[in-house]
Amino acid sequence: EFRETIKEKQEYGLWQNEVGRCLDSILPGVVDTDDLMASGKTDSNGDYNLSGSTKEISGIEPYIAIYHDCNDGIKPCQRTFRVGIPSKYVTVGSKPKLTYDAGQLELAGKYPKEGRRMRCFLVLVTLGYVAALEMLGRDQSASVKGQLMCDGRPAVGVKVKLWDVDRTDIDDLMDEKYTDTNGQFFLSGWTKEYTTIDPKLSIYHDCNDGIKVRREITRHFQFSSFPSNNSLLPSHLRS
């Protein structure tokens, strides 16, 4: 079962990830596709609750797929991305015993591996963004603050970095810190670019990772203008 809040009314679906699982050993030439376990739309408060079941030989890998048009301008087709559900929330049987609550997701942000819905065609974080224009090259700045949680507890000592993504040269590191005893952080920095900067928050963590190899997750942000105060980051930050 998966429960979450999203700011706007959007469509969502709960799926079992088969990752192109080949069933040659059972049914020669057959590739198993992802199973849709539940689907629906958010209510007037942006809330929804999904619950579903499927029959598999091995353990399932559930994920939630979100389809939306937030901060999309007039681009055709809905933006879509996935959020994986930790295996500890998978229940043997048709009725889930645990509910995975991922808090709020701010859809204005740009998510890794985000795509477009072709059928038509991780924590509370806020981002403050200020851009100062100049004649030749312009000093532009960005700041981000938030709180990281791991299984409902503050994620302490997690490394966070604020970057400007450069497509023609090496990315610029604008700030780097660690979360405090409450799992909170604040990053602020600036860089000089001729074009609008593309701020990225990188988070390096071991939460719910099993073997202790630090993982990196990132969040990108896009702006159609230069707003001074935008809430652009998702509250639940898991890869």
Burial 19-48 (b: 16+ CB within 10 A, else e): eeeeeeeeeeeeebebbebbeeebeeebeb
Burial grade of 194 (CB within 10 A; 0-12, 13-18, 19 or more): exposed
Percent of the chain with pLDDT over 90: 2
Domain 2-102+112-116 CATH assignment equals 2.60.40? yes
pLDDT tens-digit series, residues 23-79: 444 444 444 577 777 777 888 888 878 777 777 777 777 777 777 777 776 666 677
The CATH 2.60.40.3330 portion of the chain extends over: 125-233
Greatest extent of the chain over all pairs of C-alpha atoms, in Å: 66
Place of tokens 């959007």: 10
Q: What CA–CA distances, in Å, run from 47 to 12, 151, 217?
A: 11, 21, 25
Give the model confidence (pLDDT) of 166-199 as tens digits. Answer: 776 678 888 888 999 998 888 888 888 777 778 8
According to DSSP, residue 33 is labeled P
**Domain 125-233, CATH class in plain words:** mainly beta
